[in-house]
Structure 1
Amino acid sequence: MSDHSPARELPKDEATPEEAKAIPADDLEERMPSKAATVHELLRREGERELSREVFALFWSALAGGITMSLSLVARGIIRANLPDIELGFLIEAVGYTFGFIFVIAAGQQLFTENTVTPVVPVLRKPTGGNVLRLLRLWGSVFAGNLAGAAIAAAVFAYLPVFTPEVTQAFLEIGHHLMEKTPVQMFTGGIISGWMIATMVWAIYGLEQSKLLLVFLATYLVAIGDFPHVIVGSVEVIYLLMMGQASLGPALGAFLLPTTLGNIVGGTAIFALVSHFEVRADEEG
């Protein structure tokens, strides 16, 4: 056979992981073996971009995200304070919980629980020590930024005359309800909310045109399921601390640590790993 024979053109469904990196995003679905593999590759590309960003860029975006996430408490508290005492009041109040997520994701700001799946995908694809360190650097920057933003928002709510006494009371009730949970409930509920946020991120990449609806549905389920989320919950708990109605030990040991671990387990150890193995099976099949 002549050395100048044209190379065999790969069928559309035979792109290898290495070849997929060079395929334009618009052509991915035709070349990848499944819809899941297409979404996986899109997440890998986005994850690579996030892992390559400067620490301070990540931190400032995350700080803005932490402040924006306080809108979940604001909207929920205002609805609660003005809602008549009706049987389905909780289901209406829970709509307010979605506000922070919708605005954070629409604005492209950093949110820690989003990062339990997106930058994890390239690390699972290539689990080198350098990639793991880049992931931990990103997690640390975003987590610190989100908590700093949550603290700034909570301080504004606590120390400035922004809200009516009724809304302030609603904020306190929401925070106390969260802190009634045991550390085990924080951890197990955090697994569910972490998994649901990771599912939302995956679904957004698979159905971009329905982004806001997907965000609403996923976060509304987190709200009505009463599953703790580390960043929304941080706004609520820091507010209690600043109002003198919570102590630092339980805030850290009973809320922050178990909820953070639960969100990571749900988003990374369960969702990202299972989805990764699904795609690997597609590629090897």
Structure 2
Amino acid sequence: MSYVKPADLVGRMIDAGSSKLGLSTRDTVLRAAMGGALLTLGAAFAITVTVQTGEALLGAVLFPIGFILLYLLGYDLLTGVFTLAPLALIARRPGASVRGILRLWALVFLGNLLGAVTVAVVMAICFTYGFSTEPGAVGLSLREIGHGRTVGYAEHGAGGMLTLFLRAVLCNVMVSTGVIAAMMSDNLLSKAVAMWMPVTLFFYMGFEHSVVNMFLFPAGLLLGADFTLTDYLLWNEIPTVLGNLVGGIVFVGLALYVTHHRPSVPPEPVTTAEPLVAVR
């Protein structure tokens, strides 16, 4: 199986960040919406497996299916562009700017939100037969997840907020490692295996992923969870986005760039051993 060494991997990461900055608004939002939908369908699948089998590890092992598919199809997540886009600016790629990065992040956030909320609405309808009955075991589990990961943090005050933030940092260390792992090989099976490993770890450990949460908490609210939209934004989504940002940029993108990126240096001009003598 082919393997791309870290020094070459960083070059691919910079190319990917530069490419994403050059996408049109339409393509950026569409790719993000599809990415958010596929990822959150994978989350719904993993929760269903966990509830029906009682095996959380099995759910975590199967969760990366959506993640792997979305990146193989060229879609995007906010967590990934947090890591890749700044590298294009640091490497001084033409057209890369702070304004362009902020625009990309905003559009991908919007697209991921559209995809994730759409899946939340569809799954809530499926769990309740169009809101005509109480949700079953899987729907009740979704409802409880939303409560525990908002009000549950709030009950611990500053300590809860710190825990939430650090879980978000650790999440994107793993998820962004999964994103760039797809660039470590040109072989389809190798890409899938490399992405699967860190993403399984993140899901099983209960780390906080901003896009997955765009599904979990709206779904919980639709299913009658005992928390508010304000609770969700203040005690989950906003701190999670900030933690994902720090984890992706600092501990994945910059760490690899600083230690492995070696910009090409033009060769020094060849000089002759003895000075040239002017010909008269």
SS at match of 1:119: helix
Q: Partner letter of residue 260 of structure 2?
A: V
Q: Partner letter of residue 122 of structure 1?
A: A
Is 1:259 aligned to residue 225 of structure 2?
A: no
1:222-273 CA-to-partner distances (Å, cap 9, x unmatched) read: 0122111111122001111222312011100110111000001000123211
Is 1:270 aligned to residue 251 of structure 2?
A: yes
Pair 102,226 (structure 1): closer, same or farther in 2 beyond 3 Å? same
- Indicate which of 154, 160, 164 corresponds to 2:120: 154
Q: What is the Cα deviation at residue 280 of structure 1?
A: 4.3
Pair 130,206 (structure 1): closer, same or farther in 2 beyond 3 Å? closer
- 1:207 equivalent in structure 2: 185
Aligned residues of 2:61 and 2:200 also touching (Cα < 8 A):
yes
Structural mapping, 1:47-58, within 5 Å: 47-58=17-28
Moved more, 239-248 or 144-153: 239-248
* 4+ residue runs over 4 A deviation: 127-130, 280-284
- 1:242 equivalent in structure 2: 222
- 2:171 equivalent in structure 1: 193
Aligned equivalents of 2:9 and 2:149: distance in 1? 34
Q: What is the Cα deviation at residue 109 of structure 1?
A: 1.1
- 2:143 equivalent in structure 1: 172
Aligned residues: 248
Structural mapping, 1:1-285, within 5 Å: 35-84=5-54, 89-126=55-92, 131-160=97-126, 161=129, 165-179=136-150, 180-181=152-153, 182-209=160-187, 210-245=190-225, 246-280=227-261
Aligned equivalents of 2:236 and 2:36: distance in 1? 17
Aligned residues of 2:41 and 2:66 also touching (Cα < 8 A):
yes
- 1:23 equivalent in structure 2: none
Task: Flag structure 2 segments of 5+ consecutive residues without an equivalent.
Answer: 154-159, 266-280
Aligned residues of 1:94 and 1:224 also touching (Cα < 8 A):
yes
Aligned equivalents of 1:95 and 1:102: distance in 2? 12
Aligned residues of 2:31 and 2:76 also touching (Cα < 8 A):
yes
Q: Partner letter of residue 112 of structure 2?
A: N
Task: Flag structure 1 segments of 5+ consecutive residues without an equivalent.
Answer: 1-25, 30-34
Aligned equivalents of 2:264 and 2:251: distance in 1? 20
Aligned equivalents of 2:84 and 2:96: distance in 1? 17
SS at match of 1:208: coil
Q: What is the Cα deviation at residue 282 of structure 1?
A: 7.7
Q: What is the Cα deviation at residue 173 of structure 1?
A: 3.2
SS at match of 2:249: helix
Aligned residues of 1:69 and 1:101 also touching (Cα < 8 A):
yes
Q: Partner letter of residue 169 of structure 1?
A: L
Aligned residues of 1:51 and 1:138 also touching (Cα < 8 A):
yes
Identity of aligned residues (%): 25
Alignment RMSD (CA, Å): 2.4
Pair 280,167 (structure 1): closer, same or farther in 2 beyond 3 Å? closer
Q: What TM-score, normalized to structure 2?
A: 0.80
SS at match of 2:97: helix
Aligned equivalents of 2:233 and 2:146: distance in 1? 14
